[in-house]
Amino acid sequence: MYVEVGGQSGLTSVLQHLSRIINKPIVLILDEVDSLVGQTVVSLFRQIRAGYLKRPNDFPSNIIFCGLRDIKDYRLETEHTNNTTFGSPFNIISKTLRLGDFSREEVIELYKQHTTETGQVFDPACFDLIMDYTDGQPWLVNALANQVTDEMRENRDRTVVITPDMIRIAKENNFDAIAVQGFVALSAATGSGGALGTSLAAEEILIADESDIHGAISAVLLKAASASDYPNFFPEFVVRHPEHENAACLWHVGAPASLKAPEIEQIKINKPWILPGEKNISLQFRLRDGDLTVCRFDGSQNKYILGVGQCATTSGPPTRDYYVWAEVDNWREWEKRLIYGPYIHHLSATYDKCAGILIEAARYIPGLETEIFGGIEQK
């Protein structure tokens, strides 16, 4: 369906058109309406008020506003004045309902739906803990359930019974990414060599090594944009290809072992090149082939930029730790942007072509600019 609309009556025109072609009573649900401000919310209410008398043939029969405030508490400011008005913007509200927090019985019933659908059981002792952590707040109840049943990968096996200890871990570790000093802090926390600990942990959570906070933010943004089933990895461009003028090596230590090239049967563990006195703690393997999206969120002097690029793996000589050779459209341009931009050397990378999604999403983050390294059609 395509409807050409514009001006101050665009929503009215679309709803009128829908009502006519569907030819059935329509219930329209608008979520987070209370996040609108200024002329946008004024225009919305005016158009809905104008369409009210056209129901049901030329306008939805009922409209539900969902938000954190009652509609009568909205603050409306006109474009031409600084006057603020209070009260309902129109007098056609039938009822105001408050959706409260879940009771303990409702939480149990909600989690039982998961059990019915998947067969996975919750230990009854979990529910006191869930109520203690969430107070029945609906978003928290659902987020905790998602964390313990899906984000904790070992619990994706639906024969695993969810226990109170798992709920505690899910609550305490409900983060999206971590920035860590891999050779020291992660080594102490996991009881393994630093690079090996990073490789193991990176299968479960986004990790930015060398305490790189902006690298962790880069990883979160990229993961949100990607549809890939593979975990992210955290490389840097280190050297040009010896024969290919538009290729360079993506390299680091601590990539998830699940990203190894399929033909590699056994991963070797050697000393990391940067700490020759260390034990054998660094996994040595070439990454799998495929399309890649890389990004870097960084800033300087109160200016924040998201650099984004797409490339593809290519063949190249072997080296130490984990690596893959990446072919780009114009390495000189990539190199210039990486060097002259505000970027620390690390990148977040994933096996997907999702740069366009990142660039589009960045438009809605105030104060964030984007820079294209290359490999993206600009339309």
Over residues 216-237, the mean pLDDT reads 93
Nearest-angstrom CA–CA distance, 254 and 202: 8
Quick one: what percent of the chain has pLDDT higher than 90? 36
Facing residues of 312 across strands? Answer: 291, 327
Class of domain 223-374: alpha beta
Answer whether 0.85 is exceeded by the pTM.
Answer: no
Report the chain's mean pLDDT, rounded to a whole number. 82
3-state secondary structure of 114: helix
Q: What is the pLDDT of residue 1?
A: 46
pLDDT at 98 over 50: yes
In this predicted model, which residue has the larger pLDDT, 77 or 264? 264
Helix (H) or strand (E) holding 76, with range, is strand 76-77
Lowest-confidence range among 180-194, 275-289, 353-367? 180-194
Domain ranges of the chain: 7-85, 104-172, 223-374
- Tens of pLDDT, residue by residue over 296-348, are 999 888 889 999 999 999 999 999 889 999 999 999 999 999 988 888 889 99
Q: Is residue 138 within 8 Å of residue 149, measured between CB atoms?
A: no
Q: What is the pLDDT of residue 377?
A: 64
CA 231, 237, 240, 244 dihedral sign is: positive
Quickly list DSSP for 236-250: EEEEE-SS-TTEEEE
- Tens of pLDDT, residue by residue over 13-56, are 888 888 888 878 889 888 877 777 677 777 888 888 888 888 88
3-state secondary structure of 213: helix
Beta-carbon contacts of residue 46 (< 8 Å; ≥ 6 apart): 8, 89
What are the Cα distances from residue 9, in Å, to 5, 12, 17, 44, 325?
A: 7, 5, 12, 9, 54
